[in-house]
């Protein structure tokens, strides 16, 4: 076994909204974990509430981190969060920087999701439309819980309203006021790479006609979903991955914000079906090598 991805601290992978470790045999981080492990990395795909506020998820993640530290003897961890998982790891790093070597945001709505804004505008809470949206999310959350096979632990609470408020531009702006670590000072800029001893990194993709809608994404329905969702974007129209805008995603050292990846491609979904020329797993491997080189 090579040691090219043998980071000093374990890698914790934190999923986004409706996240999971494994549904039946299907992993959230599809094809990501094994190649990292083959390069010597210690990798932990972890579970937090699939549908809840960033703060609640973050408090749950703190407990998981303490458990991983006990199990491995590590004094810190590297946190990689996808989508709302990025906000979740930012919360933890802000509260307990002593436990965190690095924060990496993958397609994270670090300034909010315009899709969440659209849903709030179009289907406000308490209206029939809002109730339908909540029912769909509640049903998906329930199904994921039933078929989750990668998580063993106490039942994690669900709060659909809090989850939604954690993802809107307004909600994330409130969050950012309390937890600004790593955010760019100007829209579209880079953030500070090192804050309170924690390294901050980010990457994300955008829908790229001729690439993300080609290749194996031609047979991946989740790409069509992203293309439909992208129509709800106003500020970052044509510059989003279907759920998150490229500038909204920027945090710390920006590795890239325009890879040809839709929001699901970023974690190699579904079942590794990605667009033409996309190599999402390679981004994780390169990043592990980057963390290792930085002594993390
Ligand atoms: Ca895909």
Per-residue pLDDT tens digits for 183-209: 999 999 999 999 999 999 999 999 999
Token output for 25? 């045999």
**Can you give the pLDDT at residue 109?**
98
**Can you give the pLDDT at residue 62?**
98
- The CA 215 to ligand 1 mean position distance, Å, reads 9
**Can you give the pLDDT at residue 198?**
98
Class of domain 11-293: alpha beta
Chain mean pLDDT for the chain: 97
Average pLDDT over residues 91-108: 98
Domain ranges of the chain: 11-293
Average pLDDT over residues 165-186: 98
Report the catalytic residues: 83, 241, 263
- Residues with CB under 5 Å of ion ligand 1 are 217, 220, 264-265, 273-274
- The CA 269 to ligand 1 mean position distance, Å, reads 5
Question: Could you please report the per-residue DSSP string of 172-232?
Answer: HHHHHHH--TT-BSSTTS-B-SEETTEEEEEEEE---TTTTTSGGGGG-HHHHHHHHHHTT
- The CA 228 to ligand 1 mean position distance, Å, reads 14
Give the pTM: 0.98
Q: Quick check: 111 and 176 in contact, CB under 8 A?
A: yes
The pLDDT of residue 1 is above 80:
no
Question: Could you please report the per-residue DSSP string of 136-189?
Answer: HHHHHHHHHHHHB-S--SSPPP--HHHHHHTTSHHHHHHHHHH--TT-BSSTTS
- The CA 80 to ligand 1 mean position distance, Å, reads 20
Q: What pLDDT, in 10s, does the model give residues 218-267?
A: 999 999 999 999 999 999 999 999 999 999 999 999 999 999 999 999 99
Work out the pLDDT band at 54, boundaries 50, 70, 90.
very high
d(CA 192, CA 149) in angstroms, rounded, equals 38
**Can you give the pLDDT at residue 271?**
96
**Can you give the pLDDT at residue 204?**
98
Q: Quick check: 91 and 54 in contact, CB under 8 A?
A: yes
Number of residues assigned to the chain: 296
The pLDDT of residue 106 is above 90:
yes
- The CA 270 to ligand 1 mean position distance, Å, reads 5
């Amino acid at each position: 076994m090579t040691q090219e991805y043998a980071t000093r601290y374990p890698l914790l992978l934190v999923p986004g909204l409706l996240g999971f470790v494994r549904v039946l045999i299907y992993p959230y981080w599809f094809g990501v974990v094994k190649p990292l492990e083959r390069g010597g990395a210690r990798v932990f795909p972890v579970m937090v509430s699939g549908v809840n506020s960033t703060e609640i998820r973050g408090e749950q993640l703190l407990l998981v981190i303490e458990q991983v530290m006990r199990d491995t003897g590590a004094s810190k961890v590297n946190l990689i969060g996808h989508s709302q998982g990025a906000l979740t790891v930012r919360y933890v790093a802000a509260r307990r920087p002593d436990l965190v070597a690095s924060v990496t945001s993958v397609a994270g709505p670090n300034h909010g999701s315009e899709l969440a804004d659209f849903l709030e505008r179009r289907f406000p809470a308490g209206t029939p439309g809002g109730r339908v949206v909540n029912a769909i999310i509640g049903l998906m959350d329930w199904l994921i819980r039933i078929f989750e096979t990668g998580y063993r632990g106490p039942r994690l609470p669900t709060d659909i309203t809090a989850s939604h408020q954690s993802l809107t531009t307004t909600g994330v702006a409130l969050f950012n006021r309390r937890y600004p670590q790593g955010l760019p000072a100007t829209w579209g800029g880079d953030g500070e790479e090192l804050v309170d001893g924690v390294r901050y990194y980010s990457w994300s993709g955008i829908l790229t006609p001729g690439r993300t809608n080609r290749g194996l994404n031609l047979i991946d329905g989740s790409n069509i979903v992203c293309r439909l969702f992208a129509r709800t974007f106003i500020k970052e129209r044509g510059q989003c991955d279907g759920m998150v805008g490229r500038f909204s995603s920027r945090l710390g050292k920006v590795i890239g914000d325009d890879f040809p990846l839709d929001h699901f491609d970023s974690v190699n979904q579904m079942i590794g079906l990605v667009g033409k020329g996309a190599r999402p797993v390679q981004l994780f491997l390169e990043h592990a090598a980057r963390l290792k080189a930085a002594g993390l």
